[in-house]
Structure 1
Amino acid sequence: MSGCCIRWQADTREFIGNLKVKVVSGRNLAVRDMVTSDPYVVLILGQQKVRTAVVKSNLNPDWNEEFQLPVPQSYGPLKLQVYDYDTFSADDIMGEAEADIQPLVTAAMAFGDAELLSDMQVGRWLKTRDNALVEDSPINVVGGTIRQELSLKLQNVESGEVTLQLEWLPLDQ
């Protein structure tokens, strides 16, 4: 064979839909650089990993960054890690959390085409001692899409919360 390449394409049959994740903001994040931090967020879903921009010297950053992640047939939680960017050493962990996306996926599958529905609540992920939710997180149909807003308390750290907005997108969108 010559130096030609074969173009690889993902088999869409292994995915059930797309998860649009908006990393909205962080609040009361931990100090990692003397009096402040330079935070960024890493999101992990299955084998996929995306990251926000670094917000310099800010313990209450507003990222407002959106990512679209294909959701595989067998999926686990959406994992979130917050790091402090360091120029001359390894980045410091500032906490982590997991978001169970099953309530959102279940609502999306149960209600089918959300464009045919009026705005209403279709589900809820309840705060328990076993999850990172700050408060109960309703799942709503808004403008023809299934959405969920949630605030997660960061684990393994002295303080911090991150707010996300999730939206379910069928494969054809």
Structure 2
Amino acid sequence: MIEVGGNSSANAIYEAHVPDGVKPGPDASSEQRTKYIRSKYEHQEFLKPGLKISNKSVPQPSPPKENSFHAPSSSSNPTPKPECLDGAIGHLKITVLQGANLAVRDMLSSDPYVVLQLGEQKAQTTIMRSNLNPIWNEDLMLSVPEDYGPVKLQVFDYDRFSADDIMGEAEIDIAPMLTSAMAYGDASMFGDMQIGKWLKSHDNALLEDSTVNIVDGKVKQEVSLQLQNVESGMIYLEIEWIPP
């Protein structure tokens, strides 16, 4: 219920098509209430036609490995394209907006770039030379497999003659967005509204709660992250769900 925006939003999904006289009234017995609740959530009898919400467990992230990824020259800026993996359930367009107060890894500054990883896929931004508050506004695309986990984000400092230095990392839980997007189906049929939320907690890198919204017929989410395992640094993103 939290992921789809609370009780009212959950009811809008799970009670979209309740026949007259089926929903228990104030004087209904415990047996009638239990039957209705199981029909509503477990059997999903009142959803929009053709909609089925799966509740799969999200795999845990693998332990971090030593960085062996090296960025290409900052002069290259290819147009991002979906990898269209077999069995992909859709795509994420992740706009890396900007970084703030990033860590110093050279003499007085750093040459940062961002790497996103989902499963075996990797996508990266261009390198921003000597900039601790870079503005990328750069779109990266990732295919979403059926057994998706979190998106891993890492920031590196580009070094020409040695391995690139890590400048912090974070994980993006995409389950709230995908759960909400699949529950509502065709977002173009709805007006602008909030449909879900990823809540800030001590277990994640969020700077603040991140809401999932339908905006101009598209499912979008703004994410602000405090980089982990580093002395300082924040990254700001916008994520858009692109259905297959």
TM-score (norm 1): 0.91
Q: Which has the higher helix share?
A: 2
1:73 counterpart letter in structure 2: E
Partner residue of 2:93 out of 12, 15, 20:
20
2:116 is the alignment partner of 1:43? yes
Higher relative contact order (CA 8 A, sep 6+): 1
Percentage of identical aligned residues: 61
Who is 2:54 aligned against? none
SS at match of 2:206: coil
Residues 139 and 158 (structure 1 numbering): CA distance in 2 closer, same or farther, change over 3 Å?
A: same
Who is 1:169 aligned against? 242
Structure 2 distance, partners of 1:168, 1:39, is 26
1:103 counterpart letter in structure 2: P
After the TM superposition, list the runs of 4 or more consecutive aligned residues in structure 1 that deviate by more than 3 angstroms: 9-12
SS at match of 1:74: coil
Partner residue of 2:146 out of 58, 70, 73:
73
Can you give the 5+ residue segments of structure 1 that lack an aligned partner in the other structure?
Answer: 1-8
Who is 1:117 aligned against? 190
Who is 2:80 aligned against? none
Can you give the 5+ residue segments of structure 2 that lack an aligned partner in the other structure?
Answer: 1-82
Who is 2:106 aligned against? 33
Shift of 1:170: 0.7
TM-score (norm 2): 0.65
Q: Which has the higher strand share?
A: 1
CA RMSD of the aligned region, Å? 1.2
Equivalent runs, 1:144-155 vs 2, <5 Å:
144-155=217-228
Q: Deviations over 1:128-160 (max 9, x none)?
A: 000000000011000000000001110000000
Larger radius of gyration: 2
SS at match of 1:168: strand
1:129 counterpart letter in structure 2: H
Q: Indicate if the aligned counterparts of 2:212 and 2:221 stay in contact, CA closer than 8 A.
A: yes
Residues 166 and 10 (structure 1 numbering): CA distance in 2 closer, same or farther, change over 3 Å?
A: closer
Structure 2 distance, partners of 1:120, 1:144, is 10
Q: Deviations over 1:77-126 (max 9, x none)?
A: 01100000011111100000000000000010000000000000001100
Q: Give the number of aligned pairs.
A: 162
SS at match of 1:104: helix
Structure 1 distance, partners of 2:171, 2:108, is 27
